[in-house]
Each structure stands twice: as structure tokens, then as C-alpha cells.
């Protein structure tokens, strides 16, 4: 196998693992995981996309990278689970914010009605 390809796979795997760790920390409330982190993760995945498109061919040509490709696929499955959990967390926060917004609106209406009666 070509050393540059092996290095590329290893570099992307390391970067994705670090980004995945950041996402897990966000689930625990230890850090933010916003647009900037999503963009960085997306760039890492896009960098590896051409390699994965040729995965079957690369496995046939260079069987020694099969392990790396399988490890990357497993990494992506774990990442998908974490991203699904983040998505649910964000939906929950959004629902809470909408509910609080409704409560604020009700208080504002009450205060307006109180002013009119005085």
C-alpha cells in the first residue's frame, strides 16, 4: 500500500476520533458542539469520502488496508450514534426554549392586561 494513503487514513481517523470525543463531551455538558465543530467534522468526512468510495477496489488491490477501512467504518457507526444523541438533545433544548418563550409571552400578556386595569 502507498504510504501517503495509509497516512491519510490514519490522520483522518485521528481527527475524527478527536472530534467524536468533543461531541461526547458536549453530550455530558462539558463543552459546546456547534456549527464550527460540525463544519470541521464534515471536512474530515469529506476528505475520506473518495477513499471510501474506492474501498472495495482498495481492498482488492491492497488487502493490508482492509483493517484500517473496517476500523474507520466502525468509528463512523459510533459517531452516528453520538450525533443522533446530540440531535435528540438539541431537539429537547429547542422544545424547552419554545415552552419558555410561550411562558414569557403569557407573562407579558398578563403584565399588559394588569397595566390596562390600573
pLDDT in tens, 72-111: 999 999 999 999 999 999 899 888 888 888 788 888 888 8
Cell numbers 452516528 correspond to 80
Give the pLDDT of residue 1: 43
Contacts of 58-65 with C-beta under 8 Å, sequence gap 24+, read 58/5, 62/1, 62/2, 64/1, 65/1, 65/5, 65/6, 65/9
Instruction: Please say if the pLDDT value at position 62 is more than 90.
Output: no
Query: pLDDT tens, 28-48?
Result: 999 988 899 999 999 999 999
Res. 11 pLDDT band, cuts 50 70 90: very high
Judging by beta carbons within 10 Å of its beta carbon (0-12, 13-18, 19+), is residue 44 exposed, middle or buried?
A: buried
**24-28, 63-67, 113-117: which has the minimum mean pLDDT?**
113-117
Q: What's the angle, vertex CA 110, arms to CA 104 and CA 115, rounded to 5? A: 125
DSSP single-letter state for residue 54: T
Checking if the pLDDT of 118 tops 80, the result is: no
Residue 45 is predicted with a pLDDT of 96
In 1-117, where does DSSP find H-type helix? 3-27, 35-53, 55-61, 66-117
Alpha-carbon span 75 to 1, nearest angstrom: 22
Amino acid at each position: 500500500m502507498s504510504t501517503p494513503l495509509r497516512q491519510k487514513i490514519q490522520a483522518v481517523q485521528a481527527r475524527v476520533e478527536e472530534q467524536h470525543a468533543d461531541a461526547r463531551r458536549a453530550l455530558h455538558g462539558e463543552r459546546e458542539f456547534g456549527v464550527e465543530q460540525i463544519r470541521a467534522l464534515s471536512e474530515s468526512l469529506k476528505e475520506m469520502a473518495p477513499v471510501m468510495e474506492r474501498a472495495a477496489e482498495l481492498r482488492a488491490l491492497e488487502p493490508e488496508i482492509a483493517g484500517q477501512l473496517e476500523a474507520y467504518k466502525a468509528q463512523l457507526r459510533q459517531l452516528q450514534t453520538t450525533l443522533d444523541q446530540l440531535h435528540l438533545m438539541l431537539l429537547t433544548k429547542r422544545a424547552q426554549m419554545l415552552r419558555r418563550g410561550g411562558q414569557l409571552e403569557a407573562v407579558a400578556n398578563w403584565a399588559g392586561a394588569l397595566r390596562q386595569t390600573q
